[in-house]
């Protein structure tokens, strides 16, 4: 397998670099932690190193050093589409190299071979009440798939050389990611299409197969899926879902256990669920006015919402201090394929007015939109109107990043994560002693 060989060839260099840092500079101080940071969500404290992606506050995400426009330009595309093959993106995340067409297609083939879902996963999904949130189903199904973990089985029967763990993690990562489109499409079909089953087609890529299985056959929608799955694949290692799955994985929990944990974090409204909240909020505005409001009307509406201290979904970010480039990439897609769409026009009108109001209000550290401010708008346009499903789309993509972080954690032999907690009394005493 090409991707495994490429990783193997890079492994000695990365292990050597990490070991050298710890050996030669182990006592180098990276940061101090303040009381404010401890009570403020550990904001800004560097807690780990991962080279899969990095979020620069003023520029946004780079995947393995490549910006979004670079990734969209450099990654191989399918014959039938204008946006990259997700298999190519996975190759880039896993190896750090831009793949050739053949290497990107190799991953797509690996995924096809491994895409089968065991029957008990369907049974688990079907046993749940119909009103179960799709993110709960998604996380449960990933957990149900844990029966298939190669690492868990090998560990039980005794692989004891830590240096070899990563190979089983890579296998589990490929197996889980291969099954995600079928899994997510089945959740969609179970919830919103009377449980019909649609087979994936062998001639389609990972993203367009997902579109096909949920019944969306427009070629533009397959391209939107490719774009969406590339954009959401990773956001460095310390956001809630990546950190949660890393933490769980540090106990040598396998890829399935770790990714299910990550999805539970993504399901929170301050993280991935903002996706659905945002579209709901835009629809509420349109309903309030009975149409897309004029600029002056929207200005008054937004001032009133901020006056009541409402949180505006899709705005603000813990790290970014500029408009999220993932927002920009999707706005460009919408401008190209659906410029007249009402909800898109409304989302852009909000973008035009809200940042300066947030700046005036003076609370939020980043007054600009994050990716969630536009995600749902595009899905809604193409007929994916069930907005409680949007976070599953985010999760489907984000597991590409989570599995890569987890595999590389095993390559580098990262230890169990166990920071320290204090009591309020101990903290007060520390301050008094100063």
Residues that bind ligand MLT (CB under 6 A): 235, 239, 271, 318-319, 370
Distances (CA, A) of 412 to 7, 149, 167, 174, 244: 12, 20, 12, 19, 18
In the set 370, 379, 397, 404, which binds ligand NMX (CB under 6 A)?
Answer: 370
CB within 8 A of 304, min separation 6: which ones? none
* Closer residue to ligand NMX (CB): 98 or 231: 231
d(CA 352, CA 355): 7
Beta strands across the sheet bearing 66-67:
53-56, 60-63, 66-67
- Catalytic site includes residue 235: no
- Catalytic site includes residue 246: no
Nearest alpha carbon to residue 318 among 44, 46, 39: 44
CB of 363 to ligand NMX, least distance (A): 4
Longest dimension (CA), the chain: 69
* Closer residue to ligand MLT (CB): 96 or 369: 369
371 touches ligand NMX (CB under 6 A): yes
305 class by beta-carbon count within 10 Å (0-12 exposed, 13-18 middle, 19+ buried): middle
47 touches ligand NMX (CB under 6 A): no
Q: Of the listed 212, 246, 317, 381, which one is catalytic? A: 317
CB of 260 to ligand NMX, least distance (A): 18
Nearest alpha carbon to residue 108 among 174, 170, 57: 174
Partner touching 293 among ligand NMX, ligand MLT, none, CB below 5 to 8 Å by kind: none
Partner touching 312 among ligand NMX, ligand MLT, none, CB below 5 to 8 Å by kind: ligand NMX
In the set 274, 285, 298, 393, which binds ligand NMX (CB under 6 A)?
Answer: 274
CB of 415 to ligand NMX, least distance (A): 28
Q: Of the listed 212, 235, 243, 271, which one is catalytic? A: 271
Partner touching 274 among ligand MLT, ligand NMX, none, CB below 5 to 8 Å by kind: ligand NMX
365 touches ligand NMX (CB under 6 A): yes
* Closer residue to ligand MLT (CB): 3 or 135: 135
Q: For residues 135 and 263, is the Cβ–Cβ distance under 8 A?
A: yes
Q: For residues 178 and 113, is the Cβ–Cβ distance under 8 A?
A: yes
- Residue 250, SS3? coil
Footprint of ligand NMX on 317-346 (CB under 6 A):
317-318
In the set 84, 87, 200, 316, which binds ligand NMX (CB under 6 A)?
Answer: 316
194 class by beta-carbon count within 10 Å (0-12 exposed, 13-18 middle, 19+ buried): exposed
* Closer residue to ligand NMX (CB): 128 or 311: 311
Q: Of the listed 212, 372, 381, 405, which one is catalytic? A: 372
Question: Taking the alpha carbons of 203, 208, 214, 216 in that order, is the dihedral positive or negative?
Answer: negative
CB of 134 to ligand NMX, least distance (A): 17
121 class by beta-carbon count within 10 Å (0-12 exposed, 13-18 middle, 19+ buried): buried
The DSSP output letter for 388 is G
- Residue 63, SS3? strand
CB of 317 to ligand NMX, least distance (A): 5
In the set 87, 265, 272, 293, which binds ligand NMX (CB under 6 A)?
Answer: 272
- Catalytic site includes residue 271: yes
The DSSP output letter for 54 is E
* Closer residue to ligand MLT (CB): 235 or 405: 235
Within its chain, how far is the Cα of 66 from the centroid? 17
Q: For residues 76 and 84, is the Cβ–Cβ distance under 8 A?
A: yes
Partner touching 99 among ligand NMX, ligand MLT, none, CB below 5 to 8 Å by kind: none
* Closer residue to ligand MLT (CB): 138 or 165: 138
φ, ψ at 80 (rounded to 5°): -95, 5
Q: For residues 369 and 315, is the Cβ–Cβ distance under 8 A?
A: yes
Nearest alpha carbon to residue 17 among 52, 49, 53: 49
Query: Site for ligand NMX (CB under 6 A): how many residues?
Result: 19
* Closer residue to ligand NMX (CB): 175 or 275: 275
Partner touching 365 among ligand NMX, ligand MLT, none, CB below 5 to 8 Å by kind: ligand NMX
CB of 296 to ligand NMX, least distance (A): 21
CB of 158 to ligand NMX, least distance (A): 40
**Region near ligand NMX per CB under 6 A, out of 83-91, 178-186, 196-204, 268-276:** 268-276
Nearest alpha carbon to residue 52 among 108, 116, 5, 97: 97
Active site residues: 271, 317, 372
Residues near ligand NMX, by CB under 6 A: 270-272, 274, 311-318, 363-366, 370-372
């Amino acid at each position: 397998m090409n991707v495994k060989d490429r990783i193997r060839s890079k492994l000695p260099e990365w292990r050597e670099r990490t070991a050298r840092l710890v050996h030669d500079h182990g006592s180098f101080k990276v940061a101090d932690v303040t009381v404010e940071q401890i009570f403020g969500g550990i904001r800004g404290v560097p807690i780990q190193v991962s080279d899969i992606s990095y979020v620069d506050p003023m520029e946004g995400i780079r995947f393995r050093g490549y910006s979004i426009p670079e990734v969209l330009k450099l990654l191989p595309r399918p014959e039938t589409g204008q946006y990259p093959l997700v298999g190519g993106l996975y190759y880039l995340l896993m190896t750090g190299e831009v793949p050739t067409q053949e290497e990107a297609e190799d991953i797509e083939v690996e995924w096809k071979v491994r895409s089968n879902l065991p029957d008990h996963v369907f049974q688990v999904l079907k046993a749940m009440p119909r009103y179960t949130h799709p993110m709960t189903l998604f996380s449960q199904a990933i957990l149900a798939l844990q029966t298939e973990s190669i690492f868990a089985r090998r560990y039980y029967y005794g692989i004891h050389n830590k240096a070899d763990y990563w190979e089983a993690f890579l296998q589990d990562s490929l197996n889980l990611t291969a099954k995600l489109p079928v899994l997510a499409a089945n959740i969609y079909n179970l919830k919103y299409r009377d449980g019909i089953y649609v087979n994936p087609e062998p001639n389609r890529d990972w993203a367009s197969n997902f579109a096909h299985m949920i019944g969306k056959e427009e070629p533009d929608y397959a391209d939107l899926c490719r774009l969406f799955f590339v954009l959401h694949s990773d956001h460095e290692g310390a956001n809630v879902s990546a950190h949660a799955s890393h933490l769980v994985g540090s106990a040598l929990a396998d890829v399935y256990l770790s990714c299910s944990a990550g999805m539970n974090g993504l399901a929170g409204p301050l993280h991935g669920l903002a996706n659905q909240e945002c579209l709901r909020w835009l629809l509420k505005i349109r309903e309030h006015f009975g149409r897309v409001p004029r600029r002056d009307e929207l200005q008054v509406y937004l001032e009133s919402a901020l006056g009541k201290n409402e949180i505006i979904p899709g705005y603000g970010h813990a790290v970014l201090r500029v408009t999220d480039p993932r927002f920009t990439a999707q706005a460009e897609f919408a401008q190209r394929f659906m410029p007249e769409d009402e909800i898109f026009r409304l989302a852009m009108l909000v973008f035009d007015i809200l940042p300066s109001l947030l700046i005036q209000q003076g609370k939020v550290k980043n007054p600009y939109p994050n990716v969630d401010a536009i995600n749902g708008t595009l899905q809604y346009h193409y007929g994916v109107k069930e907005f409680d499903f949007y976070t599953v789309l985010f999760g489907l993509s984000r597991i590409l990043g989570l599995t890569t972080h987890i595999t590389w954690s095993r390559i580098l032999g990262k230890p169990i994560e166990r920071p320290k907690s204090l009591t309020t009394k101990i903290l007060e005493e520390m301050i008094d002693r100063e």
